[in-house]
Structure 1
């Protein structure tokens, strides 16, 4: 039976239900073991899911793809570089901001290394929000892993909202908008039938992709609120440099 899930009280129970099944197919993290509250896991069949994603027209037409630093997307980052497409990503927890991996500046022999979190910071280039704007990066696709998601693209991550922050920052700077395609890559056991209620800042996904299927959601409404400063977790502003940059920047005005 489908349930109507209301906010934080039920989110924990949903995560626990999904994580119990995910434990059967997930690969442990070297730092966090199977603590799914601390990382987004890679899983059996993730390569097949990534291959399905790379077959999307929205991927093939991109010059830059934003890809989160989730374990299950390392293969995607590598293959995106091999395809000659730039990768914009963040460090874990956004604590050292955004980084750009430009295949034009990376030796092909280092693509696999660059796709890892350690390698990315040695091979890639840190970029501020203002640099992302002035470089004219055109981000046509944003890809994330997540803790759980329903068939309408409403996500339940670890509970910190990092993907929503990334969308909010890039949206505020005019780098992404309503036409930017958002994709969640998950195992089939992470897909829910429950009716989930997104908050105003929740970045709903256009596609949900698993090892066995591609679900196009359709009629997705992307958040336009930017960063809701009073809703940030304690310490986020102090820990995330791009938030500090955005807080101090003058309001963005799109050129006429």
Structure 2
């Protein structure tokens, strides 16, 4: 079994466990799960000293992390939310709490952000204090796995290359407790680990920090590069 097949086997097992265990609705299969208790993850995260000190948050656009994005805006933090599928030369929405024209609950949704938020390129992003990443499964060493599209890895790698995600940046995974597994999660050169797992009930510090040095071009197909404008612009010649 190659590493992609091994990762997919983990995903299928966790989607099934989460749904069968009553942790998320059935339509969560195949996605970043919209688990029950998402508001609790925002509360747990807000209790961290790193959160209180943070001024900038980079977040994925999935529904499960909406309460965290809303909490960040209510706490006065600038939020950089990934444009879905990175389908723009400016791959992030800037949600600025000082200039919102919609309530945080609306602007932090994909639809609201698309209506009112400014798209920004990597060169306009400020250094990131906290990265919030959607995950299908995580283990206590901090290894994580997404739904398989690879966008979180690319977004973080871009920001590392630009010097905006550094050793000082904290990466967190808000998930349901049923998404926290004891098994090993296969990792490749482009994968990053998380510093904290945040469930509706607790915060789990993870000891084995792992970050790529930047974009791993050898892991990207020509089709993937062509489909993501910000990668096509940076492709080494």
Q: Secondary structure at the match of 1:212?
A: coil
Are the counterparts in 1 of residues 127 and 163 from structure 2 also a CA contact under 8 Å?
no
**CA positional deviation for 1:186:** 0.8
Uncovered stretches (5+) of structure 1, i.e. residues with no partner: 250-256
Would the aligned equivalents of 1:178 and 1:221 in 2 still touch at CA under 8 Å? no
Alignment match, 1:252: none
C-alpha displacement at 1:234, in angstroms?
5.2
Provide the C-alpha distance between the structure 2 equivalents of 1:89 and 1:175, rounded to a whole number of angstroms.
14
Aligned residues: 233
State yes or no: 1:122 paired with 2:121. no
Query: How much has 1:236 moved relative to structure 2?
Result: 1.9
Q: Which position in structure 2 is the counterpart of 1:18? A: 14
Tell me the distance in 1 between the aligned counterparts of 2:211 and 2:10: 23
SS in 1 for 2:207: coil
Written as runs of structure 1 = structure 2, the 5 A alignment for 1:65-104 is 65-96=57-88, 97-104=91-98
User: Is the aligned partner of 1:216 residue 2:208?
Assistant: no
Change (3 A) 1:245 1:100: farther
Q: CA–CA distance in 1 between the matches of 2:203 and 2:193? A: 16
Return the TM-score normalized by structure 2: 0.91
Preserved contact between residue 101 and residue 124 of structure 1 (Cα < 8 Å): yes
Q: CA RMSD in A?
A: 2.0
Q: What's the offset of the Cα at 1:103?
A: 0.9
Residues 6 and 238 of structure 1: is their aligned pair in 2 closer, same or farther, counting only changes over 3 Å? closer
1:102 Cα deviation (Å)? Answer: 0.6
Q: For 1:58 and 1:74, how far apart are their aligned partners in 2?
A: 19
Change (3 A) 1:185 1:233: farther
Task: Tell me: CA distance 1:234–1:245, structure 2 relative to 1, closer, same or farther (3 Å).
Answer: closer
Distance between the aligned counterparts of 1:154 and 1:17, measured in 2?
16
Structure-2 residue corresponding to 1:254:
none
Residue of 51, 64, 68 corresponding to 2:56: 64
Matches within 5 A, 1:28-47: 33-36=27-30, 39-47=31-39
Deviating above 4 A after TM superposition, structure 1's stretches of 4 or more consecutive aligned residues are none
Distance 2:190 2:182 in 1: 22
1:8 aligns with 2:4: yes
Shift in Å, 1:197: 3.8
228, 241, 244: which is aligned to 2:232?
244
